[in-house]
Structure 1
């Protein structure tokens, strides 16, 4: 491995020489215009509300501490959650109450507009497989993956968990509008689907098998619809247990950093379309209606899926943040969720950005517990079980404990579970805390310098400029592959899927000196880069890695991306911790586009999703900057064509001091 990394480094030197040659030639023809930079962001910002008159000598200054805002709400003061500080995980289980479960034939709920929603009811059963005639709490699941097809193959796609049913729970699985055996038009997570959720929950709570208490559950799309259902505030809902739920459709996945996901999204939409054209249960009951339903699904794909993706790629209205995306970003509705909610996320998940944000959004008005594991998307469903570990149980046992407490009224101790549980890479174990972001987080700004180092001190040299080639195809093999392909590549024995070494060949790389003590980072990360380009636009990808001196492996911890022309930040919605902005809120609005002037330096803030890692003593912290990651995103065509074959300069000098703000937490807080 060390030899291979040396080869990568040698190739990287060659690429750097080429990029530098092109960059110098570009600057010779078009010199860098002198710009007076605004460096006020380097000074910790006072709290504008609580700070006294800072002009008085010796007056203490309260620093700005805010949560991340939303489209509808500016940042609010951060109120740390300090309760439950001594919480520990506990194993919970109880024996099955019934020997079997049985799924009834498909039935349909008629919505307010006549649309028919297919549902599948699973009930506890006796030894003969006959349903038990009793009332049970109901777990409601809403899927887009066809409960009558994929749901019969795997419960994570939309099927009942037989172990929960045997423990006295009924389950209702519904195909959301326009998918599976349901009629209507699919418009993922839109207002109509949100209104349907209320009616599905209402129907489920009033059936003869229901005791009137409803819990919401699901993985991925099903986890998102669980949150969507919780936001309806139907009185029957008592708790929710979403696994890897999205929070912001635009920022999490579709247009991460303003760049279109051209890998996962087309495959995902195609899968839903394919499964929807197989309405098996409808075909069995009424072949003619079944064929017409399948035809409607095909037509629907030409009215929603295909136009949405095509127009986004062309850079039309939905390539920017607008009402369409706000409607589908459920963090905007977090204040409507009032029931106890258990959030499960993953450090390599598609929705890595939003999962801890759910904790922050809910903690002020309901009971919330957050569990972040070391997994990608499908691994969160425990297809490749990594639990139990120590005293942390399997997710299905946690789900049982959660629903037993809030749906059955059993005192399981669910409310005393740790508030936040996170897998810490490098520590290789789960760590509990009272809140997210961590209450002891200290923003730690490290500067990029001309020698390729990361340092605490701001550069003093007037020179310092690294050159990057602009191309949209870098990052073919990187840690992003596993994240975007939902963990499907985790079994492949390719080191480049976990380490940054190969992906760093076209990058500018900056390393800290070997650490003299362990470094614990936990939270969101922000890179503040001074750049210029010979083109009107450019992409920027920033990776944070842990470099092992024994092998030279640079293990990727988190990756951020931004389109330079979409760099506009709304400071009133950004996160500040102890006066430092550490999570920018980019507006991504069409009206805020800022094309680059040739070779003119500008400040670009890059949001890097939160992670948790212990970088051991002797290792190095690495920041690498490259112009693209083809798996992370591709700029819409107008931006892409204006950035091809350009040259990017990354400045690291006294006038334009590029830096990164890391979320440092004292290692004393590493506790199980």
Structure 2
């Protein structure tokens, strides 16, 4: 049986493996970092499956190397002995009068039980952990949630349950829709779960010993002392990847794992990234749909973990939580509702306050596709034209003329296309690109990919039905509840969501869109970096190549794009006027030069 230990070290009172009993008797284990002095303090909490005792440096050495060498401010002012992947460093919070708590979720790390990611049971456990923390003698009764990715996604979930002691949340780059963002892109299965789960989740399942790692501060095995057989481990966890193939549509399985955002009432700071094909959309949708009257949106770039740890990110987090958990005058009452780090092609960012999202001054520009000469133009073709492409080939690329002036594109985007297929279905992959005067792609350090693309959208044609009550011109909402097969050779209209993006395109550069029936790959010979065996060539590790989801006899046909006066095919792009009356901005950077 696990025993919790208490000690004072590095200016903190640390309690390891504190038991938190759930209503069904299962005991979860938490590490609690708090000030040495007696008192009542606000709580910063995370709850998840990545093993609270696994050090960032040991578990994710490549990411740690990138963070510590490129952004030294992220790792200064701390011994870094308590760093844990995608959670707050207690050495940066406890001295400011916070309690930091990390909980291993049910079945993970040092907590026993059945492992079922994002399940209603896991969310209910989180609720109980929040209530436990809010009623401890060292707590002031206010609990805030802060963390990246998994530790952001489950914030949306549990906040919708309205735990009484939850006071504020800061989901930092986390999906808010299990179907549309985490597992599928517009009906097309994203293979991320099948790649990520064995490495980051089941590898640290309780009773498995995980990677064989031990907590460097306690010497205890990160996945508990007990060793279960391989068969028992399998029996004690949900096969999350297999479930995705069983559930191809947005049914109750996904709804049970997606939050009712409208039920969130606590203050929200939603921080998201311009180019993360798992999390970007969730940050914007969470902000837009959350029921809270007090909510803010912040958008940044770079690797998806970077700004969480930098001085910029920590300062933002502390101003938010200082205001809502401690009642301090942090200036948060003057924080603009929206704060954007607008991207520039030199790798720098323009920090700019805004009042709403999408921006009210947006000029929605239609750029029409001309299949005869592959142009993008403001006027549609004067006669119906078409072009064919092999779905699994290079597709079609349409480009503008060189831009006559610097042009900012910031916001959600969409495409309205008329297509037919030689088969009963087709997958459409849209990639927004910026080409320099020599025709070379401008790419950005984004998510885990050093050569990230500007923007992306997807749609499985048989999922083309939209919900008119939830759809917007710039953000169609697909129901994903039943198939509507194509009739081979018959043209259908498709509305395709392109996830929000931002870039200032310099004069002389060109905009382009590539349309394919497979994942786009940045041109060039590499070598391309890999994450968990997936080569990253523009979309990180978020690719769509599961043969069971995409059998070649259906998704390997010939696709025809049609455009003309009666069947217009166009992009809808958010152009932001750069006028003297625009909000003031400051330039941040320069950051590492974008790869070309």
TM-score (norm 1): 0.71
Q: Which runs of 5+ in 2 are unaligned?
A: 1-8, 57-80, 444-452, 521-541, 586-596
Distance 1:379 1:284 in 2: 29
| C-alpha RMSD of the superposition | 2.7
Bigger-Rg structure (1/2): 1
Matches within 5 A, 1:448-597: 448-449=369-370, 450-462=372-384, 464-471=385-392, 506-553=394-441, 555=443, 556-575=453-472, 581-589=473-481, 591=482, 593-597=483-487
Check the 8 A contact 2:110/2:224 in 1, yes or no: no
**Hey, what does 1:338 align to over in structure 2?**
265
Structure number having the greater helix percentage: 1
- Corresponding residue to 2:296 among 359, 363, 369: 369
Change (3 A) 1:638 1:263: closer
Q: Could you tell me how far 1:159 is from its partner in structure 2?
A: 6.1
Asked if the contact 2:153/2:171 (under 8 Å) is kept, the reply is yes
Picking from 357, 368, 380, the partner of 1:436 is: 357
Say whether residues 1:632 and 2:543 are aligned partners. Answer: yes
Question: What are the residue-to-residue correspondences of 1:378-417 with 2, within 5 Å?
Answer: 378-382=305-309, 385=310, 394-417=312-335
Q: Which of 572, 585, 607 is matched with 2:497 structurally?
A: 607
List per-residue Cα deviations over 1:411-444 (Å, max 9, x = no partner).
Answer: 1111211211122222732222011111112321
Cα pair distance change 1:201/1:459, threshold 3 Å = same
- Is the Cα–Cα contact under 8 Å of residues 144 and 272 in structure 1 kept in the other structure? yes
Matched, 1:188 2:117: yes
Match of 1:310 among 227, 230, 242: 242
Higher relative contact order, chain-length normalized (CA < 8 Å, sep 6+) = 1
Deviations 1:170-227 (A, max 9, x none): 1221111111111111221221112112210111112221122211111111122233
Contact 1:156–1:381 (Cα < 8 Å) also in 2:
no
Distance 1:430 1:381 in 2: 16
Q: Does 1:291 align with 2:181?
A: no
What residue is the counterpart of 1:111 in the other structure?
22
Greater shift after overlay, 169-178 or 219-228? 219-228
For the 8 Å contact 1:205–1:211, the answer to whether it is kept is yes
Work out the CA distance in 2 between the residues paired with 1:523 and 1:104. 45
Instruction: Report if aligned partners of 2:517, 2:555 keep a CA contact under 8 Å in 1.
Output: no
Gap change, CA 1:412 and 1:642, over 3 Å in 2? same
Distance 1:160 1:204, change over 3 A: farther
Alpha-carbon spacing, 1:540–1:404, altered in 2? closer, same or farther (3 Å): same
Residue 293 of structure 1: how far off its partner (Å): 9.6
Answer yes or no: is the 8 Å Cα contact 1:179–1:297 preserved in 2: no
The unaligned stretches of length 5 or more in structure 1 are 1-97, 126-131, 389-393, 475-505, 576-580
Counterpart CA distance in 1 for 2:289 and 2:232 is 38
Report the count of equivalent residues. 509
Counterpart Cα distance in 2 of 1:594 and 1:294:
42
Bigger CA drift: 273-282 or 160-169? Answer: 273-282
Q: CA deviation at 1:294?
A: 8.6
Q: 1:369 to 1:645 in 2, by over 3 A?
A: closer
Normalising by structure 2, we get a TM-score of 0.80
Are residues 150 and 326 of structure 1, via their aligned partners in 2, closer, same or farther at CA, if it must alter by over 3 Å?
farther
Change (3 A) 1:164 1:521: same
Q: Cα deviation per residue 1:310-339 (whole Å; 9 max; x = unaligned)?
A: 3534xx3x1111111112122xx2222222
CA contact (8 A) 1:259 1:636 kept: no
Distance 1:297 1:107, change over 3 A: farther
Q: Quote the offset at 1:242 in angstroms.
A: 1.9
